[in-house]
Amino acid sequence: MEREDDQNQIVKKQTFEGVEDSSMYRTLAALVDSGKLRPEDSLLIVFGGEFDRMVTSLLGFTNITLSNVSSIVGDSHFDARKIPYPDGSFDHVLAHAGIHHCSRPHQAVCEMYRVALKSVMFFEAQDSWVMRLAVKLRLTVDYELAAVLGHGLQRGGVDDLPIPNYIYRWTRREVEKLVRTLDPAHVPFICISTEWDFTWKRVRDRLQRTVLRLMPPWLMKWICWAFVSLFNLLLSRYGNIFFVRIEKRGVEQPWMKCGVFVPPSDMAVTPFDPGAEVA
């Protein structure tokens, strides 16, 4: 029995290898440490996959609904553009690198906001001049052909169809305008962080293909870690990873009271004349 448990631990360790270095794990772990996320909170993951399950499992989340439009992935299956749950059904709603597969990304975020009680979170790509330049230089792509090729030309594209999806990239201002338009009665609380999606281990793996592989492992690790840290310190604002957290604190706008518009005292109210509207 002990040997079986040891083997299970080895398999689990191999399965989780590299997860802790991911942007998703580090970001959610920081929120858990700060108390903004609690492992017992109800969490709906849309566009979910096994990587999302590994991350949340490693962080100790126990009340998770992993969903995907595909019937072969996740525990629940539906289109994120029309989530089949009542308003405020989950404490938090999360999407990791999936909204750009949706043909109506804003509608998906609106639905996530509707069914969330406390917060909405999503990881996507950022739209910046650096990323647009990278596309022009063919350092990255704007259509995900590989996603469909990787699923035997059967699925993996826009709305999980065998049609390569356009990679919709976001800006800070765009998120703010969307939230203000979606919920004009409440003050928006939006937290956004950006970074480049590479780790010191990925840099090390590249260097190990060169003559630099001859340097001591501890020195290579330090150099790679220092390079990535400095790069993100100086240029993280333009990073491709774009994490958004929208908090639903329920704080009303100054002109709202218990869900009703209360005009400021210095503003005149024009009497409503139905006849004038018809004319």
CA distances from 76 to 9, 31, 64, 71, 80 (A): 28, 25, 11, 8, 11
Alpha-carbon distance 98 to 24, whole Å?
A: 13
DSSP 8-state secondary structure symbol assigned to residue 214:
G
Write down the pLDDT at residue 198.
67
> Sign of the CA dihedral 91, 96, 98, 100?
positive
Domains held by the chain: number: 1
Terminal-residue alpha carbon distance, the chain? 84
Write down the pLDDT at residue 5.
41
How confident is the model over 117-170, as pLDDT tens digits?
999 999 999 999 989 998 998 888 999 999 999 989 999 999 999 999 999 999
Domain holding 47, by residue range, is 2-278
Three-state secondary structure string covering 86-111: CCCCEEEEEEECCHHHCCCHHHHHHH
Number of Cα atoms under 13 Å in the Cβ half of residue 83: 28
Write down the pLDDT at residue 60.
96
* pTM, entire model: 0.84
Write down the pLDDT at residue 74.
86
Alpha-carbon distance 44 to 93, whole Å?
A: 5
Alpha-carbon distance 134 to 254, whole Å?
A: 43
Domain of residue 27, CATH code? 3.40.50.150
Q: Is 85 exposed, middle or buried (0-12, 13-18, 19+ CB in 10 A)?
A: middle
Provide the token pair at 179.
Answer: 């939230």
Mean pLDDT over 252-257 rounds to 96
